[in-house]
Structure 1
């Protein structure tokens, strides 16, 4: 999972921001992962938000733990009075605490919705995951 380890580890946790909910990350190898979110949109739409992303990581040199800059591409759906479908372009930082199954992340994701209309938006937040 970390910079010099093959993947296969899965992390489950929470994300706080827009949206707020459950986050799941599954590492394919040391550089790529899939990220899924099931959350509640707090932007005034009272909506359920689901997203899935494919992420690429660039490991940075830090003294303790493992820190990666990541970017990706994905999709999202928002279910409310109006249903939205669109593409996400997430990027952020992922920090794996040394000698711990805990990881922290910060993310921003510009969004282009295609349905029901073409429109731009953004998601962002912080989170924590426990890897097992």
Structure 2
């Protein structure tokens, strides 16, 4: 069961990123960002833009809570761009899924909310995010993830 859920989630993430369309958006150098997120969990962050306002993101990270575990998530995000003097700033929100692989694996929904700032004259984007979680398997429970991160446009 654990392997089936993990394989299904990974295939969904791969499919989502393979369907990425090209988009010309707010101060972006490309449609793909890769970087790190520090917080709960801490690890690798990947984002694939679909349009000026939408993107898929994924995290491959280590959760330090609950005696440590592998944390995988994938989200579909909507961005509202705000007027700023330099760079570009977006409030984003979305819906996704999270798999926590541990002795007691968990699968549930994520509702990420955050801010992303594209630093002018660089290929860097910083972000802050909070993501309420509703685990559905093996039992219903509520939790929150969050962190700070930086990604580079590839």
The TM tier, using the shorter chain, reads: over 0.9
Q: Match of 1:78?
A: 100
2:26 — aligned with what? 3
Which of 36-45 and 18-27 deviates more? 36-45
Structure 2, gaps ≥5 residues long: 1-23
Q: Does 1:88 align with 2:110?
A: yes
Segments of structure 1 that go 5 or more residues without pairing to the other structure are none
Partner in structure 1 of residue 153 of structure 2: 131
Q: SS of the counterpart of 1:64? A: coil
Which residue among 79, 94, 107 is the counterpart of 2:129? 107
**Cα distance in 1 for residues equivalent to 2:65 and 2:46:** 22
Structure 2: distance between partners of 1:14 and 1:76 = 17
Compare the two structures and name the one with the higher strand fraction. 1
Structure 1 segments, 4+ long, off by >4 Å, are: none
Q: TM-score, normalised by structure 2?
A: 0.81
Deviations 1:93-117 (A, max 9, x none): 0000112110000000000000010
> 1:14, 1:21 within 8 Å by CA — same for their partners in 2?
yes
Q: How far 1:45 sits from its partner (Å)?
A: 2.5
Aligned pairs for 1:1-132 (under 5 A) are 2-3=25-26, 9-132=31-154
User: What number of residue pairs does the alignment pair up?
Assistant: 131
SS in 1 for 2:139: coil
**TM-score normalized by structure 1?**
0.95
Instruction: Point out the structure with the larger helix share.
Output: 2
